[in-house]
Amino acid sequence: MTPVRHMAVYRDFVFVKLGDAGPDFEGYFGDVLRAIDNLVDRSPVGRLRVEGGVLRNIIHCNWKMYLENINDTVHPLSTHESATIAAGRLWEGQPPDAPKPMAMEQILPFGAGYDFFDRMGGRVYPNGHSLLGVNFSIHSGYTALPEYEAAMRAAHGEARAAEILQRSPQNALCFPSLALKGSPQAIRVIRPLAADRTLIEAWSFRAEGAPDVLFQRALTYNRLVFSPMSVVAHDDVHLFESIQRGLRADGNEWVSLHRGFDRSELEQETATVGGTNELLMRNQFRAWAKFMTLAMR
């Protein structure tokens, strides 16, 4: 077993470093740590508890494919069409002001149009980190909880509470192995097992001092979207494993990630772009190439 050389604790999340080389904790993660702040600060008392167990799924693909999917907003409309059409038919005919069941709140936005996903925006940071949904996301339309919002204002003040609650990114990626959602409060840990096998762990959090419905959102979302038996994950897994097989072929050796490319991005460490821009994926691969070749320089 490789010994832990350095350890950092941030908002009760424990990070370890196995070697001495490379940047320190703050230097490596930088501003993407604000995503962890948003996750924890949704508790009026600033504490989370891991509850509800963990959902584990082994996918027969390279781990980098999963990271691409985290930042890809073009695929949901077509890839998850079967789930969104089925949900839409179940909800068809309901009045606009009818309260949506939690599952409907979480599944229906996957069918939002390309314009919606582009307008949500994305931001890249140094070292492969990124934030998808800087303006809004599929999680922004959840039912308001007045008593919880009042507790947040009492704990954090009017302005800070509004900042926390209005910020609902689609995904925050702490490259290379951690994806966070502030609302619902969940994380995924991506663990490479082999060149063609990846373990995905989905964890749910209970925000102390917050109503149970927040925890139920986390559990429901993880089961609907990340469980091996979900109505969404099987679409992605089919594509991941098909891509893995396709990459073994002897055809075109290039994989295009050029959508939205602007040569000026090569000079920028941080940039904000439309949500369908593949800069978020290019940022991951540039970081991977940088770290894989450090010893060669």
Interior CA angle at 65 toward 60 and 66, to 5°?
Answer: 85
| Burial label, 238 (beta-carbon count in 10 A; 0-12, 13-18, 19+) | exposed
Q: Which pTM value belongs to this model?
A: 0.93
Nearest alpha carbon to residue 113 among 82, 94, 140, 138: 138
Cα gap 56→49, rounded to integer Å: 19
Could you read off the pLDDT of 26-74 as tens digits, one per residue? 999 999 999 999 999 999 999 999 999 999 999 999 999 999 999 999 9
In the chain, where the domains are located: 6-248+255-296
Could you read off the pLDDT of 246-277 as tens digits, one per residue? 998 888 888 999 999 999 999 999 999 999 99
Cβ atoms 91, 32 nearer than 8 A:
no
Q: What is the mean pLDDT of residues 136-150?
A: 95
Could you read off the pLDDT of 171-190 as tens digits, one per residue? 999 999 999 999 999 999 99
Q: What is the mean pLDDT of residues 106-131?
A: 96
**In angstroms, how far is CA 118 from the centroid of its own chain?**
16
Fold type of domain 6-248+255-296: Naphthalene 1,2-dioxygenase Alpha Subunit; Chain A, domain 1 (3.90.380)
